[in-house]
Each structure stands twice: as C-alpha cells, then as structure tokens.
Amino acid sequence: MNRLKCCLAICAFFACAATAHAQLGVYAMASAGRLSGFNSIYAGTGPTINTAGNFWARGGTVGLYDNFLHLGPIALGGDVRGFIQTGSNSNNTYGDQLRGGLVGLRLGAHAPLIPFKPYIQAEIGGVSTNYGQNASRTGNLAYQVQVGADFTIFPHLDVRAEYGAGQVVSVLGSNDQTLQQIGAGLVLRF
C-alpha cells in the first residue's frame, strides 16, 4: 500500500509540475538602436577634429523567453536575445553597425481580464560596433534594461512593443557609450 501511495504522490507531483510548467515564448521584432557618447573623427574641408558621435541603426531582434516561476499574476523568468542593426552614414563604405547578444532575468505580470502583459528585463552580454568609422567592429561588454508589453491578438500569438536603455562598457579604457533600442514585433507562446 505504501508503494501505491508513493507512486500516486510522484505522479501527482509530475502532473502538477507539467501543468505549472514555464511559459516559453519565441519573438521576432523590427528594431532600431541608437549608440551615443563615443568620439567621432570628422575630416571635413578643414583639420581633422574629434566630435561626440552618435548614430541610429535599423534591423531586427530575435529571442526566446521562459517564465519559469509563477506567483499569482507575477512571473519570473529568463530571456536571451540577439540583434543585428545597420544604418547608412556619410561613410557609405562602412555604414553604422550594431550587433549583440544579451541574456538576463525577466519579471512579467498578467491579469486575466487585461489583454496585455507588461514586463521588465535586466540583461548583460556583448555588443560589437564599428562606430560608423571602421571596417571592423570592436566588441564590448554591455548591459541593458528593457520595458515593454505583449498584447494578445490570438491565443498563443502576441504583438510586442519595447524600449530598452543601457551602456556599452568599453574594455579599453575609453568612455562608455549609451545604447537605446526600440522594437515592435510578434511573440509566439508555447
């Protein structure tokens, strides 16, 4: 009889764990990134000068999130993402380039009667850029906080809007740069 109770308890545990499993989502967004606060070398008709550089680059962001802990309307999870963004500038040979990957924690909320799910994420990773001036990109450590919301349009399909801000931390001792990103796209939830 004890074995039967033990087997039933184990089966009940796995049944509950399966129904309370994390919510996995895959997303793809059109995105744009603004990098600012770096030194830009300008060689116009006069002498070469250093100016504060910044640029916007457009592209895409893809990622995966997993809400693995649910506490009522609050969900804690993880997120991993990658992005590639490019833009044109006066130096059409190289253009403006941003590429990166970030991973971190995600805190989301969901109320049954509200058709959207707000979230906030804190992530760390790496970003490479050519600063719009070089043929090759330089890789640096980066961190960013994103805030956004997923709006349900069909079961298991959401529209997402997001804003993120953070820093690209220079490992070579020069000044850190500000990285801002905006994005909108689709989320497929499993």
Look up residue 164 and give its two tokens. Answer: 């993120």
Q: What is the pLDDT of residue 24?
A: 94
Q: Which whole-number Å values give the CA distances from 163 to 41, 88, 166, 169, in the listed order?
A: 29, 22, 11, 20
Q: What is the pLDDT of residue 179?
A: 95
pTM: 0.80
Q: Using CA atoms, how far apart are residues 46 and 49, in angstroms rounded to an integer?
A: 9
Q: What is the pLDDT of residue 41?
A: 60
| DSSP label of 156 | T
For the chain, which domains are there? 22-189 (2.40.160.20)
Q: What is the pLDDT of residue 57?
A: 93
Q: Using CA atoms, how far apart are residues 170 and 157, in angstroms rounded to an integer?
A: 38
Q: Per-residue confidence of the chain (190 residues) as pLDDT tens digits?
A: 555 554 444 444 444 443 444 589 999 999 999 998 887 665 444 444 445 678 899 999 999 999 999 999 999 999 999 999 998 875 566 788 899 999 999 999 988 788 899 999 999 999 998 877 777 888 899 999 999 999 999 989 999 999 999 999 976 556 789 999 999 999 999 9
Degrees, nearest 5: CA angle 93-185-106: 105
Q: What is the pLDDT of residue 4?
A: 54
